[in-house]
Amino acid sequence: MNVLNRLKENFSEVEQALSKQEAVEESNRCLYCYDAPCITACPTGIDIPSFIQKISSDNVYGSARTIMEANPVGASCARVCPTEELCEGACVLNHSTTPIMIGKLQRYATDWAKHNEKVLFKRGKPIDRSIGIIGGGPAGLSCARELAVQGYSVTIYEANEEAGGLDTYGIVSFRLPKAVSRWEVEQVEELGVEIQTNCKVGVDVSFDEIQSKHDSIVLAIGMGEVPNLHLPGETLEGVHDAIQLVKSTKKDDLPEPLVGKAGVVIGAGNTAIDGATCAVRLGAEQVQILYRRTSEEMTAYDFEYEFAKQDGVEFRWLTMPVHIHGNDEGKVTSIECMKMELQEPGEDGRRRVQPIEGSNFTIEVDFVIKAIGQNRYLELLNEIGVDHVNGVVRVEEGRFKTSLNDVYACGDVTFGEGHGEAMVVTAAEQGKQTAYRIHEHLQGQARTFA
């Protein structure tokens, strides 16, 4: 096997699927609670005991329907949800034995529907109202699905080659294979939703033009690339953007391998973990995550942290990069860092950090991966003229209405600045809720075709 094929295997799904027998045995362990806390803990409110019970009775179609009805990206969420903080964390069996593997059962049922090419939903009776959704990620797809089921005519404007957003491009394929996200997109398309791909609003089509075509617009544009570090040497060859790196591994052909190379990842969120584990799986010999605080303040989920450690990623706490050095050819060669020390907690409760004078040291590297959050689409938002705070679109609490008439927003573009938490499952729920608000608003005006 050649190196590329071997590396490709590194990107196949890590987590094993449950066999039918495992799924049935696990489903039989579910207590089928009444008013179950797992349902409350799920942002999309999936009737979990019901879908699990349906697995046990071999009604897997019904199970998949129950899941996907509540969560149009339920197959992705089965893999990427921090279940121990959501449904599984709320499982009452935490108090007696061990919680039900809800995520894995959800994957079993949705995998079954995908594998058997089942049609789960039908388009509603057509309504002569049209909705334009900008962005085909979890929020946009979810919103589109609910509107199409109601009968609305829906068009998604997607900047990328394929819809699915974060699920398609942003989550490492060894956790979420692209085919899963693609299936969810197909489910939405089959309801008659038109998805215009490679169509970047503001570039390929103007916002005004879209607005003139639709009765309502939904902004579900998510977030952009990793912001600049504002460090000298940032533009050297070998300095990557974690989001772009992950995206490049989700194409049919892998990017240039990192076999035998050493590098660092700057940041300690889930994206940093993704960048680091991708680098390992591309063959890198040594990958270190640099974070200026400690594991206490790290925003990556515990299971992501564990996963990275299993992959051999090293963590260097209280380490702040200050300079990226390169050679004459413009290639990165090393990164200079300073040691930090912990101070008293700041206003946000997190302990502040302070660089230690004269603690500078250098790490030899072949590559540097930036993973310090994501940029906002400020330019587009300003062009649209919608109210926002640093790129976070302001919406009416619970109504998803922006400052503009008939323009709604949901998903990552509304997250941040203290509003909500950026999870796929939350975006999906917001997409659904936005669809319901639009429907409520248009219901009075719309008429169904006879």
Partner 1 sequence: MADLMTNVGGITSPNPFWLASAPPTNSGYQVQRAFEAGWGGAVWKTLGDPIINTTSRFAAVSYNGQRVAGFNNIELITDRPLEVNLKEIYETKKRFPDHAIIASLMMEPKRERWHELVKRVEQVGVDGLELNFGCPHGMAERGMGAASGQVPELVEKQTYWVKEVATTPVIVKLTPNITDITATAEAAVRGGADSISLINTINSLAGVDIHTWNTIPNVDGKGAHGGYCGPAVKPIALNMVAECARNANVNVPISGIGGISNWQDAVEFMLMGASGVQVCTQAMHHGFRIVEDMIEGLNLYLDEKGLSSVSELTGQSVKRYSNWGDLNLNHQIVAEINNDVCINCNKCHIACEDTAHQCIDMLKDEYGNPILRVREEECVGCNLCSIVCPVDGAINMVEKLNDRPPMSWNERERVITSLTASKSS
Q: Which residues bind partner 1 (CB under 8 A)?
A: 24-25, 28, 31-37, 56, 92-93, 95-96
179 phi, psi to nearest 5 deg? -60, -30
Both tokens of 360, joined, read 């500078």
Q: How far apart, in whole angstroms, are the C-alpha atoms of residue 327 and residue 59?
A: 62
Least distance to partner 1, CB of residue 350, Å: 27
Q: What is the dihedral of CA 139, 140, 145, 147, to 10 degrees?
A: 110
Nearer Cβ to partner 1, position 23 or 442?
23
Q: How far is the CB of 82 from partner 1 (least distance, A)?
A: 22
Least Å distance, CB 61 to partner 1, is: 15
The least distance separating partner 1 from the CB of residue 21, rounded to whole angstroms, comes to 9
Comparison of 24 and 342: residue with beta carbon closer to partner 1: 24
Residue 432 contacts residue 408 (beta carbons within 8 Å): no
Neighbouring CB atoms inside 10 A of 268's CB total 27
Pairwise CA distance, residues 354 & 357, whole Å: 9
Q: How far is CA 147 from CA 122, 139, 155, 272, 445, in A?
A: 11, 12, 11, 35, 15
CB crowding 62-82: b at 16 or more within 10 Å, else e? bbbbbbbbbbbbbbbbbbbbb
Which of residues 92 and 404 has its CB atom nearest to partner 1 in the complex?
A: 92
In the complex with partner 1, the residue whose CB is nearer, 84 or 234, is: 84
SS3 246: helix
- Nearest distance, CB of residue 96 and partner 1, angstroms: 5
- Reference 408, options 377, 378, 365, 441; nearest CA is 441
Alpha-helical (H) ranges within 30-101 are 37-41, 48-56, 60-70, 74-80, 87-90
CA 44 to chain centroid = 15
Closer to partner 1 by CB, 32 or 361: give it: 32
d(CA 258, CA 90): 41
| In the complex, least distance from residue 62 CB atom to partner 1, rounded to whole angstroms | 16
Q: State the virtual CA torsion across 213, 216, 222, 224 in degrees, nearest 10.
A: 40
Quick one: 36 or 254, whose CB is closer to partner 1?
36
90 or 276: CB nearest partner 1: 90
Q: Which is nearer to partner 1, 28 or 360 (CB)?
A: 28
Q: Which CB, 49 or 283, lies closer to partner 1?
A: 49
Length of the chain: 450
Residue 320 corresponds to which amino acid?
Answer: M
Return all residues near 123 (Cβ < 8 A) that are at least 6 apart: 148, 149, 151, 191, 192
Residue closer to partner 1, measured from CB, 2 or 96: 96
Structure-block tokens of residue 355: 């660089």
Per-residue exposure over 166-188, b if at least 16 CB sit within 10 Å of its own CB, e if not: bbbbbbbbbbbbbebbbbbbebb
- Taking a C-beta distance cutoff of 8 angstroms, is the pair 250, 160 a contact? no
Q: What are phi and psi of 286, to 5 degrees?
A: -140, 130
CB 425, CB 43: distance < 8 Å? yes
Which is closer to partner 1, CB of 37 or CB of 255?
37
For the CB of residue 94, give the shortest distance to partner 1 in the complex, in Å: 8
Q: How far is the CB of 30 from partner 1 (least distance, A)?
A: 10
**28 vs 354, beta carbon nearer partner 1:** 28
Least distance CB 199 / partner 1 (angstroms)? 48
Assign residue 398 a region (left: φ > 0; alpha: ψ between -120 and 50; beta: otherwise).
left
